[in-house]
Amino acid sequence: MYRRKKFAPARRCAGRRRRGNRVLEDLLSITILLCSAALLITVLAPWEEGSAYSAGQDTDVCWPEPLPAEPPLPADRGEPFPAEPVPVDSWQLLLVNRWHSLPEDYSVQLVELRNGFQVDERCYPDLQEMMDDCRAAGLSPLICSSYRTQEKQEQLFQNKVDRLTAQGLSPEEARTEAAKSVAVPGTSEHQLGLAVDIVAADNQNLDQSQETTAVQRWLMEHCWEYGFILRYPNDKSEITGIGYEPWHYRYVGAEVALDVRESGLCFEEYLLLREETLAANPEA
Ligand SMILES: [Zn+2]
C-alpha cells in the first residue's frame, strides 16, 4: 500500500493533494471554530447562569447548580452532635415545678395553633411536625391544653379547691389536695408555653387509660425526635411533684430530649445530674 501511493501518476497525485489540502483546510477551519466556541462557552457560561461569582473561582464552590435535597436523618440519631451544648441558663432548660415558680419577669412570644390554643413560637415548628407525623402514621392526636395565663391557672386551681371543699374538706386540706393534681398558679409548666397536653381523639380522658392508646404509644416512642419529653413519668411522681400524666409533653429541644431519653431520668433528675457533671468538669 505504501509503495503504490508513493509511485502514483503525477496528475492523480496532484489532484489528490489538492483534495487533501481542501479537506485539511476544512478540518482546520472547523477545528478553529469549535475551539473558539468552546472557549466562549467556558468563559461566559457562569455569567449567563446569573452566577455572582467570578469565572476564576473554584467551580466546586461556585457552580450555580441547585444542591440535591439533604437526606432525612435516621430515627436513631445516636450521640448528640451539636458543637455547643445547650447553656445551663437556656430557656429550654427552665425548670418550673412546685418548688420552682415561673420567673416574675417571664415573657413569651406566642403563636396560635389552628384550634385556637397558643404555644411558645420557639417550639411551634417541632410541635407541628410531630403532630403531622403522628397523623401520617394513621393516628388522631388532639392538643387539649397548651399555654395558660396566670389567671387561667388560678381559675383551674380554684375550681379544684371548690370541688374538694364541696366534698367536705377544709379550705386548707382542699388546697393541699388540689395541688396534687393541679399545679399551684405560678408553678405550672403550661405557663411557660412549652408544654402541651395531647390526647387520642377516641379517648380524651385525662387518666391512666391514655397510656394504652396508639396515639400515646406513638408519642412516647417518638416525641424526643421532635424535642419533647414525657414530663411526668409513672415512677417519678415524688421527684416531679406531679402524678403520672401520660399526655403531658414538655419541649426541651432535640439535644436535651435525646439526653433525657437515654438517661432514663426525669427532667428534675437530669438537670441535677447535668449541674453536677458541669461542676465536676467545668471545661466540659
Ligand atoms: Zn399538662
Has residue 240 got a pLDDT over 70? Answer: yes
pLDDT at 262: 94
- CB-CB neighbours of 151 under 10 Å: 9
Has residue 33 got a pLDDT over 70? Answer: no
Query: Is 129 a member of any domain?
Result: yes
CA dist., res. 229 & res. 221, Å (int):
10
Has residue 100 got a pLDDT over 90? Answer: yes
Please indicate, yes or no, whether residues 102 and 203 belong to a single structural domain of this protein: yes
Query: Is 275 a member of any domain?
Result: yes
Query: Is 255 a member of any domain?
Result: yes
Please give the tally of structural domains in the chain: 2
Query: Is 124 a member of any domain?
Result: yes
pLDDT at 22: 58
Query: Is 265 a member of any domain?
Result: yes
Please indicate, yes or no, whether residues 259 and 129 belong to a single structural domain of this protein: yes
pLDDT at 84: 60
pLDDT at 154: 96
Place of cell 391512666: 208
Q: What's the gap in Å between 73 CA and the centre of ligand 1?
A: 29
pLDDT at 279: 85
Q: What's the gap in Å between 197 CA and the centre of ligand 1?
A: 5
What are the Cα distances from residue 234, in Å, to 69, 229, 245? 41, 13, 7
Please indicate, yes or no, whether residues 32 and 95 belong to a single structural domain of this protein: no
Contact indicator for 62, 53 with CB cutoff of 8 Å: yes
Task: Kindly state the average pLDDT of the residues 87-98.
Answer: 90
> Of 144, 134, 147, 146, which Cα lies nearest the Cα of 219?
134
Q: What's the gap in Å between 194 CA and the centre of ligand 1?
A: 10
pLDDT at 179: 87
CA dist., res. 272 & res. 242, Å (int):
18
| Half-sphere exposure (Cβ direction) of 233: Cα atoms closer than 13 Å | 13
Please indicate, yes or no, whether residues 135 and 2 belong to a single structural domain of this protein: no
Q: Are strands 228-230 and 118-120 parallel, antiparallel or unpaired?
A: unpaired
Residues across the chain: 284
Strand order in the sheet with 195-200: 141-145, 195-200, 248-251, 228-230
CA dist., res. 82 & res. 132, Å (int):
25
Q: What's the gap in Å between 195 CA and the centre of ligand 1?
A: 6
Query: Is 183 a member of any domain?
Result: no
- Residue of 104, 211, 245, 276 with catalytic role: 245
Query: Is 215 a member of any domain?
Result: yes
CATH of the domain at 120: 3.30.1380.10
pLDDT digits (tens, 9 = 90+) for 140-168: 999 999 999 999 999 999 999 999 999 99
Please indicate, yes or no, whether residues 16 and 118 belong to a single structural domain of this protein: no
Please indicate, yes or no, whether residues 98 and 22 belong to a single structural domain of this protein: no
Q: What's the gap in Å between 57 CA and the centre of ligand 1?
A: 56
pLDDT at 27: 55
Please indicate, yes or no, whether residues 141 and 1 belong to a single structural domain of this protein: no
CA dist., res. 15 & res. 198, Å (int):
94
CB neighbour burial string for 200-209, b if at least 16 within 10 angstroms, e if fewer: beebeebeee
Which residue range is the domain that position 247 belongs to?
91-148+188-280
Please indicate, yes or no, whether residues 274 and 193 belong to a single structural domain of this protein: yes
Q: Which three cell numbers stand for residue 79?
A: 450521640
Contacts of 181 (CB under 8 A, 6+ apart): 160, 243
pTM, two decimal places: 0.68
Task: Kindly state the average pLDDT of the residues 41-52.
Answer: 33
Pick the residue with more confidence: 223 or 44?
223
**Residue 172: active-site member:** no
Which residues sit opposite 50 in a β-bridge?
none
Share of the chain above pLDDT 70, in %: 70
Has residue 68 got a pLDDT over 60? Answer: no
Please indicate, yes or no, whether residues 96 and 198 belong to a single structural domain of this protein: yes
Query: Is 158 a member of any domain?
Result: no
